[in-house]
Structure 1
């Protein structure tokens, strides 16, 4: 076989491998695009369900018998109501960034008449007004709380871990807060009090930020465009000028 024929043979083999690789990449890109379309459908359904929960009448906050079955998809942002009293335990301030600027969420333990303890997020206080005498006192008296059920936020936040010993909290980790305050077992969720429960001025309730990142359509179009481009490149190579017959 002449040197030219040997070169063409190697070139043809490399071309076949390259076309096969493009076909594989096309399948991967198309699969990712279809997955993003499915994720978008799931996200839109979740948003619709949450919007219904935000305007629904409040239901009784779930008790211990229901705690194991609580999930984000089924329960997050559900409007709930509690009747009972706040415990005379120091409130816990967790870092917050809101439309009013930086500050803290005020978390207080609430003993429900049904016999269990829930951490209630009473609302927001600005950074310079965190002192207890700056906000309305509630401990000891009978109270009704209406708000949104939120699942615990373990592992800290703002790229920082909670430091209970130093009293620095970056997320609303109810289990860690309960342990630090000696509360025993508490609900695996907290309740964001609404503006009717905590009308302000301090703390200010009803400031839950309900938003969902939904960029699945952009990702789907990106992946599907890449799939079309790689498929086009493979088709171009397949339809290319045939190789000259190999010499023996």
Structure 2
């Protein structure tokens, strides 16, 4: 066996490791490009739907086929009566006065009953932790007919880190209209929520207008970074292999 043959075989394991790393890096770069396309579509939806005059919500007859990609972020207006006895505080964070210092508190999800008799869940806005109990904000629950303007939102997705809700204690961790409705045995419930706009509420709480409409899109630079690392890996391994294969060839190995 020649030294060059031995050196070539010694590249098998490093080569396999480099191929695995290269596949991972290319996969990450490709995923970022896919995320870029998704983010651009999301930004286009917001730009097309969230501004201008509000429209009506999708009629109840179409709720069974409602799709977020066709309706989310659309600006709407609805009139009805709040069912404050079923108010659901959903744990969450809101931007604080200083960047990077969010405020802990709750988003108040309250059923609204329009004249049709159906139910539409309204995210009325955010309250800090010490105002979770409505007793501490008695002016925050208007009675009688109200008109809400806001943005249509899909139910908040859950992930493996989302704690389990505890309906018995009225503790919620996802803005899920169907789960909240089921806990209170409410029927004919819309498959979406409406995030109320920033119109002031009595007593200043809750504070609406919490929907983020400015969406960062840095996925192209992330993709370029991953692809750049992949190219660097190719260059480093090529130099390593070239040096290994250019080793002494005059030595015969038994």
| TM-score of the pair, normalised by structure 1 | 0.79
The 1-side partners of 2:16 and 2:210 are apart by 54
Matched, 1:123 2:119: no
Counterpart for residue 182 of structure 2? 179
Counterpart for residue 191 of structure 1? 194
Counterpart for residue 66 of structure 2? 70
Counterpart for residue 201 of structure 1? 204
Whether the 8 Å CA contact 1:108–1:120 is kept in 2: the answer is: yes
Q: The residue matched to 1:57 in structure 2 has which SS? A: coil
The 2-side partners of 1:69 and 1:231 are apart by 49
Q: How does 1:1-248 map to 2 (within 5 A)?
A: 5=1, 9-15=5-11, 18-19=14-15, 22=18, 25-26=21-22, 28-87=24-83, 89-99=85-95, 101-129=103-131, 130-132=133-135, 134-139=138-143, 141-153=144-156, 155=158, 159-196=162-199, 198=201, 201-210=204-213, 212=215, 214-237=217-240, 239-240=242-243, 241=246, 244=249
The 2-side partners of 1:225 and 1:206 are apart by 40
Runs of at least 4 residues off by over 6 Å: none
The 2-side partners of 1:164 and 1:94 are apart by 11
Counterpart for residue 100 of structure 2? none
The 2-side partners of 1:225 and 1:156 are apart by 31
Cα distance change, pair 154–176 in 1 and its aligned pair in 2 (3 A): farther
Cα distance change, pair 66–221 in 1 and its aligned pair in 2 (3 A): same
- Farther off after superposition, 57-66 or 191-200: 191-200
Counterpart for residue 99 of structure 2? none
Whether the 8 Å CA contact 2:127–2:206 is kept in 1: the answer is: yes
Q: The residue matched to 1:232 in structure 2 has which SS? A: helix
The 1-side partners of 2:161 and 2:230 are apart by 37
The 1-side partners of 2:121 and 2:169 are apart by 20
The 1-side partners of 2:175 and 2:249 are apart by 71
| TM-score of the pair, normalised by structure 2 | 0.78
Gaps of 5+ in 2: 97-102
The 1-side partners of 2:158 and 2:42 are apart by 24
Whether the 8 Å CA contact 2:177–2:191 is kept in 1: the answer is: yes
Whether the 8 Å CA contact 2:90–2:108 is kept in 1: the answer is: yes
Gaps of 5+ in 1: none
TM-superposed deviation, 1:231: 1.5
Deviation by residue 1:125-147 (Cα, 9 ceiling, x = unmatched): 332233245233334x2222211
Q: The residue matched to 1:95 in structure 2 has which SS? A: strand
Q: What count of residue pairs does the alignment treat as equivalent?
A: 243
- Farther off after superposition, 142-151 or 51-60: 51-60
The 1-side partners of 2:238 and 2:219 are apart by 28
